[in-house]
Structure 1
Amino acid sequence: MRRRKQGMAGIFDAFVFLAIASLVSVSLLTSFVPPSPVEEERQRRVEDSLTVLLRTTVKDADGNARTLQDLLLTGRGANDSMEEEIAMTLELLLPGWEWTWSARRSGIEIAAVATSDVVPEGTVYCSIVRETLQGEAVEYRLEAWLT
């Protein structure tokens, strides 16, 4: 009788192990499924839009034309006219999309522009560019979703 219980316990342990191994295998396989071509195109569009935005020429406080990226890297935040230019540029690059854009230096937000204060549930495409200047980390972030 004793030997039979140990045999049943061994079989039970084997079934539990196989069940757990199956769940882990399925979850790993589903996490490595490549995105659909439509999702890849939308993600690429958001990434390209952030790249174009950062290279957009805006006027600084002295009236000189500089790229947005240079202005934010050198320590100046966005003023109202720059925020309007950011909004117009993203509206041209992402028509029919809602978005939020922000720039942070060492974790502190130095500029933010958004079409909506609330990011909805569902698919949100995100692009982040990080740079370091004189030991300070600067992060530019664009989150966009279709309406």
Structure 2
Amino acid sequence: MGESLTSVNTNPGQVPKADNLLVAVGTPGEAIGSLANAGAIHSFSMLGAAGDNDVWIEAGDGDGIPGNPAANHRLGESIHFTGTHLYAGMPYGPGPRGALHTLPIGNLTLNGTHGTVTTYQPGADGLPAAGTTFGTAAR
């Protein structure tokens, strides 16, 4: 747990609240059922009691990572917050070249408004169909 870590205050200059002072922890070695190294991301608030605002993210669970978990995809190997999104690398899946997913902040907060996730993959949307481990570094 904690191979990657990022935090954000989505509303600087205001009094922090549970839904805008966030930490995300990437755990690319997380097994999902019998799928070793499928990976996951745990998002939670830096305020309040432990467990009160936690969101667990894995492929196909409804928080925005498309597809199903698979062995060795390593979701969360690289993660990075901006003021509006979390960039989440999945360097060994779902295709042979990896992917980078962009999740709106609402997808990462308990009872947040889920927005559209954008997925970047080599060979799609103008990216060259070349290379391997796309999504290893999200910055």
Task: Look at both structures and tell me which one has the larger radius of gyration over its CA atoms.
Answer: 1
TM-score normalised by length of structure 2: 0.29
TM-score normalised by length of structure 1: 0.28
